[in-house]
Structure 1
Amino acid sequence: MYLKRLIHRIAHSPILDKIALAIVIVLLLFITAVLFGQIKTLETSMEDVSNSLMVDKEINTLFSQYDLMESAEFRSVILKDSTFEESYIDRKLESDRTLRTLYDLAKDTPYQNASLDSITQLKDSLHVTLTALHGKIRPSQADSTAMIYVEKAAAILKNLRGIKTNMLDHNERLLQEHLGTYRRLTFLTPLTTLILALFSIVVFTVAYFRLRRHKNQIESSEALLQNIVQSTDNIMNYYEPIYDSNETVVDFRIMFANICNRDYLNLEPEDIIGKPISEVYPFVLENNELERMINCYLNDETIDFEREVFVDGEPYWFHTFVRGMDNGLLEVVRNKTDEYNAKEDLLQLNEQLEVQNFIMSEAKKMAKIGSYTWDMENDKAELSENFYRILDCEPGEFEGSSTTYQSFVHPEDIQQYEEFSSWLNEIKKPKEHVYRIITKKGVVKYLRSKGQFVERDGQTVKIGVVQDVTDQIKYENDLKIKNLELERSNEELESFNRVASHDLQEPLRKIQMFISRLDETDKNTLTTKGREYFDKISFVAARMQSLIRNLLTYSRIGSGSNDFEKIDLNEVLKKVHEDFLERIGDVDAKITSEKLPTVPGVFFQLEQLFSNLISNALKYRNPIVTPKIELTSEKVSHKEVPVKFIKPAKEYYKITVSDNGIGFDNENAETIFEVFQRLHAKNKYSGNGIGLAICKKIVENHHGYIHATSELGHGSSFIMYLPA
């Protein structure tokens, strides 16, 4: 395990450290080889020295044997004693063994081998000579030829001694060479060993400190990488494969997981390390993700894919990058939920923008509005599509400029248009301008234009809008005419009011005065038919007076009154109840009401309103039941008002006046509020058909609305909405 880690570190160390480490290893091997070679050389040198000494020793021993052999034979000749034969044979055998030893010791020395070959030949001659000499020995007398063999033996021994001397001299020289080599080796071997050892120590020291520095850098890098991995916004996990019995990858085991697993998936890193990913992340079993990860590991690939994961029921979107490594998989998961949601929001915004652009385009068409951007320096203008349409042209039909556009300006307005444009270009402040144009189709239109100046890319640009106000100006002109007519009508109405209030009532008052006097003096002198006619004249005169009074009341109820004040409707109802107290008592009517609200208004108009409604309820009562009049009130939102009219307030008081009278057909619910409209005969019910019209005008003058619901024989309900 340690060797594997060491090899792994070596494989991942910088190139210089690899070279240094390789040099150290080579030096160690070299030092070992040199030391081994020197030791082997020293051993060889020692063996050579020892061999030389042994050769020298054996040479001396050999020639000593020869000397002894000669001495033995000569003694036997001189002394005539044959007892020395056995001694000679021993010496001969001993010399032969020594000679063989010398052959073994000098086998690598050609000179010595040659010398030994010569010795062998001389040794054989010496043996033959000495043997012959030995045969010449007689116990009683000396052999006459013995001296010949003695001399021959002496000559052989002399040659042998010469060879001995040469061999010893040669061996001495070899010995001195071997001793010199030995001395040199004994001096150089420790010195070389010391130098190489010191150099090796230096290299080891440098390599050690470099490796240590590299280790520190690796530890710092690992700490930095760990901080980066833990502080990143991405999930970073490392997996190792899990094999089945057939050595097939079937899953992966989590070996490292950063803290983002807790942030995004609510999984503690310590709790999931060592577990299979299919157990911790069961969603990898969907969409063949696990198979893709296995193939990624086996093929050493990089893949990426998106997945939707539900955490505590909430959907999250993750983009996953998986990379195959030597011993596992590295997975980096980026949270794209916000980006995905932003994309969805962007799509929705784009859809909304398209709708808004469509609405804006249609609104411009409906409002007859166009826009433009005018580059004043280059006299180039960009017109909107609707601007072209206002000119009765196709969008982009001509290139916009002041010259081309002025061709559309009405000739009678061209001078005014140019003067206004020059003035506007000088003051550079937005201001409206209305002028006429003649479109491509020859139609005269009024345009209202307003622009302002802005700086764009260092240039002054005028942007603005134009609106086709032809209909508006025509409407304003028509309105002016109608206002003039209304002013004349108002003047005529004022004249009518003066006539009605004075000129018409004055003769009527005189008629009533004369009727009163006739009633007091001469009525009884009239015939029955005359008195009948007289009563009709008196009734018609009273009705005429009531009609004129109601018309004056109706005409004096104006709109847009500025003298509104807070009016307590309970006080208004109390005043009306007092006015009708006698009449209420006559018909035994019952009036009930809830607490009514306080509303902004005019007291006498609201009094007239309630007076007319209660009078109407008393007038059209059902004769067979006791009259009942009920007033209720509630506060409602303007959205709860069921009728369509201009609603300036957000809240309204819904006030209902209900009775149990004779009622009316609901088809006439709108008609009864018109002037002089009656649903019953004059001789059956009194009145002139103005009362409810006055009620409607009072309610409208208070920015409210009134309507009625009824059913014949089942009473009526008048419902008012007054601003809160």
Structure 2
Amino acid sequence: MLDLLPDGVVYYQTIRDESGEVVDFQLVYFNQQIANMAEGRYEVSPGLLLLGDNTAHEASIRPLFEEYKAVLTQRTLREYDYFDPNLKGYFSLRINKLNDGVLVCSRLIDKTASLRIQQQATLLQNVLNGSINGIMAYRSLRDEAGHIVDFELQSANKAAEEMLGQQAGEIVGKTLRELYPEEIEMGLFDWYCQAVERGEPQRTQARYHEPVGIRWLDLSANPLDDGIVVTFIDITSSREAQVQIDNQASLFRTMSQSVPDLGVLVCDRDYRILFANGDLPAIFLTEIKDLVGHMLEEILPAEMAAYIRQNFSDALAGRSRYMNEEIADQYYEVFVGPVNDSEGQTVMAVATLRNITAVKHAQQQLESSVNELKRSNQNLEQFAYVASHDLQEPLRKIQSFGDVLRDQYEEVLGDQGTDLIRRMQSAASRMSVLIRDLLMYSRIASYREAFGKIDLNQVLSEVTDDLEAIIADKKAIIKAETLPIIQGSALQLRQLFQNLLSNSLKFNRANVPPVIEITTQNRSATELPFWSESDKKASAYVEITVSDNGIGFDPAYSERIFHVFQRLHGRSEYNGTGIGLAIVQKVIENHQGDIRATAAPGEGATFTILLPCR
């Protein structure tokens, strides 16, 4: 009777190993319809093994084996549509447990429908393989109580193969516990079970520890019949990038909090606050920590919101602005500018505000002090002019009346009276010279004329002309190299050379004609001598050395000699006011240079001058 049926009927006996695990099925019975369908394609005879005797067709037969095995385990009737590539047709299978085996009824599905199903399956497989996401389909494996104990992999697309480094043929048919035991410990197995039992999609992100490092996957589990379809994509790069962004945001937040007197405000293109931190002005309608997420108009008075919105609008248009603003009785240095993405598109606007109130108050105090100093200098200059005029006039009269007394009353005064008149006139003359030198020092200290190009050779020539008489009288020799042209004040540089040469001519050794040598060389800012205190604002300097063969001085006084009224000798030995070298140093300071004196008693003196070349 079974041979008369249009359906194929076959019965397989279970083959188990020593542990009782199902390892194959042995053919016991088949009807005529089975023989007809298998003719020329499969060998069918009682005793043949489903897997063991069909190794050439194992890839297509393996799914049948798993279905039969599942029926034995779950003791339930299963209906299964199966495409046999050798028979080139789809079959509808009904599988029942019978004793310790399975009874299978099969019916060939309509060829047209079979072809259409095959085409749809091919299309579906192509779509799945074209996806950039990994896709894997699992079938639930249950115990006798109906609890899910594992999942069997049914299929995997190309993306899954590439991401996992395994071919589908190597892993299809294996269980989750065999393939990915770490997912049990990670809790993903329980997560898959929930998706199946609840019939609801699930989504999560999972971190996998691999030999090459950490891998992050974004996983979605969607229930399908008594199984799940797991879709996943590698998000390691984006996850690491997000970690970097979070770290940078944390660093930026910490830095903005750590920098004193600095506040930061960031908005998007809709003028919604994205970030607010630090020392922001007390103009907001809510606390700084609550600003994020609000629109400008929600957190500021209308007039102030409109003003800030305009500045942010300029920034979002790609324009930056620096400005100083007085806000809520505080002074701020403000920068407003665009924030661009990797493609150069402006996506945000940022404002940084540095509270400079303390600096502003200090600046105002400094300006007040400078103005006060200017007024004091003006008063001092006026006083110096008046003092020089008013003091010089009585001195001139003292000398003039002394001349009259000495010329007209010499006989009456006698030798003693004449000597007193001479001493009086000498004192008046010294006072006149002292007042003149003080006035010159005051003028040089406060004089700020615009610098111009000065030929130092011309300056030196004019000075030696002025000193021609004393040079001739002392039979002095002046040797000078060619001097450079520099930026400076002609009047002050003339005073510099005149005082240095006058000193060399004055402090000569007895019966030894003075020899004065003037040399020069160029120096870069990195080649300045160790003693120089120049701020090195210039890139190049000229070094001028004025040396003589005079009496010299004790090196202990090499700095003291530049102080006002400092004299190393009495008036009876050498005349002078003790102001000449103080004027020299003031000229050097006005030219942002430096000077040093070296000497030894009886061996002459050397003055080394550094002047910037501009």
Q: Please report the TM-score for the alignment, with normalisation by the length of structure 1.
A: 0.43
Q: Comparing both structures, which one devotes a greater share of its residues to helix?
A: 1
Q: Comparing both structures, which one devotes a greater share of its residues to strand?
A: 2
Q: Please report the TM-score for the alignment, with normalisation by the length of structure 2.
A: 0.50
Larger Rg: 1
